[in-house]
Amino acid sequence: MIRAMVGRKRRTSSFLMAQVLGQLRRILPNEHEIAAGRAVLHDCLGAREGEQVLVVYEDGYDDFAAALVMAADEVRAEVDAVKVGVPLIPNIVEKLERRLEKTDVSVLVSSYAFPRDVRTVLTAHRIDARRHAHMLGVTEAILKQSLRADYQAVHELGEQLARVLESTYEIKVESPAGTDLRVRRDPSCRWHNQSGLQREPGWTNLPAGEVATTPLAVDGVFVCDGGIWLTDGAIIDRAESRKLVLRFEHGALVDAEGPDAVRAQLLADVDAHALGRRVGQVAFGTNVGVLAPIGQHAQDVKLPGVHLVLGYSAPDATGASWNGEGMVTVLQRQESVWLDARQIIQRGRFVSSLRPSQFPPPG
């Protein structure tokens, strides 16, 4: 079971492979951890016999790290593990870089508070020859739900949806709570299917299931009844955030109406970062295994429907010519969505399987 970090004495990092692996192999993960570990290494990353697998994990995530080691052993991969705690050992980034030189497949399991420079080295160093999964904020609920998805099906849904979106001029979004939004596609930006299948060099977030781009324009109102996550990963009180109404013009947040405290909290964050009010991404959740928000960013943004990211445009994925310094995610519930005149989501559920015969490729 994933253990809470609060109130526990945290241990320092350990790069002693035999010691760390010995500790992990004495742990018996539960069935949900085992199934999720197999989904990550077998299905998403396609680890194979003889490949070098590196599991980097934060103190407190030992049980799931043990499940990942078990999954690597099952395919007869060569496995290594690094445990990271506080205080950080000196030169930890350089030590990780040396480990990554001989790594084919890597996984990071940590909290959102995990040191950014350690996170970054895993997605930057030798990523052109390595397959990597970034897993931040994993909980028991995530292991039981979004990480148990059929990621091949998630990938196929995302690919079909992306093809339709490439020929869409306007996206209309409405919700029972009052969302009434119009989004126009930027032809210079691409739709990126972040499905979780990473069989080629590169990296993916897990759990996965999003199709996103940087829009040309966003106009109308958005009601945040699904949640708001700030740049530092903190979630705004959900009971209050559902009353917050955001107003957009020409792709930027111009006003927010609702409880004074949460309004001030949101505006302080977006205004503290360059281009923080600009809509960096409009994204479709495509993980149909996610049924409702649970308060965890890693899973909730995979919920079928449309959410917005303010600031961060993910330029490497979308091709955007700009990027904001902040990253605020706003989520809604039970929305209905039309691509031009064609409805594809009704009250938070895809109305069809997006079969190619129903949604032929453009052109």
CA 22 centroid distance within chain: 31
In order of start, what are the domains of the chain with their CATH numbers? 17-144 (3.40.1830.10), 150-350 (no CATH)
Which pLDDT tens digit goes with each residue over 59-110? Answer: 999 999 999 999 999 999 999 999 998 778 888 999 999 999 999 999 999 9
Residue 224 has pLDDT above 90, yes or no: yes
**Average per-residue pLDDT for the chain:** 91
Nearest to 331 by CA among 295, 280, 278: 295
Confidence at 112, pLDDT banded by 50, 70, 90: confident
Measured CA to CA, the distance from residue 57 to residue 60 in angstroms comes to 8
Task: Give yes or no for residue 362 having a pLDDT over 60.
Answer: no
| pLDDT tens digits, one per residue of 255-274 | 999 999 999 999 999 999 99
List of residues 6+ apart from 297 with CB closer than 8 A: 112, 137, 227, 229, 233, 235, 329
> What's the rounded mean pLDDT across residues 289-314?
92
Cβ distance 77 to 49 under 8 Å? yes
* Average pLDDT of the residues in 49-55: 97
Residue 12 has pLDDT above 60, yes or no: no
The pTM is what? 0.86
- What pLDDT score was predicted for residue 353? 59
- pLDDT for 43 beyond 90: yes
Q: What is the pLDDT of residues 233-249, one digit of tens each?
A: 889 988 888 899 999 99
Q: Token match 């099952």: residue?
A: 74
Residue 294: count of CB within 10 angstroms of its CB: 16
Residue 25: both structure tokens together? 């192999």
**Contact by Cβ (8 Å): 307, 331:** yes
Mean pLDDT, range 335-360, rounded to an integer = 81
Work out the pLDDT band at 349, boundaries 50, 70, 90: very high
Contact, 41 vs 72, CB < 8 A? yes
- Average confidence (pLDDT) over 135-157: 91
Strands of 41-169, DSSP E = 52-58, 78-84, 105-110, 131-136
Residue 350 has pLDDT above 60, yes or no: yes
Binned at pLDDT 50, 70 and 90, residue 16 comes out as low
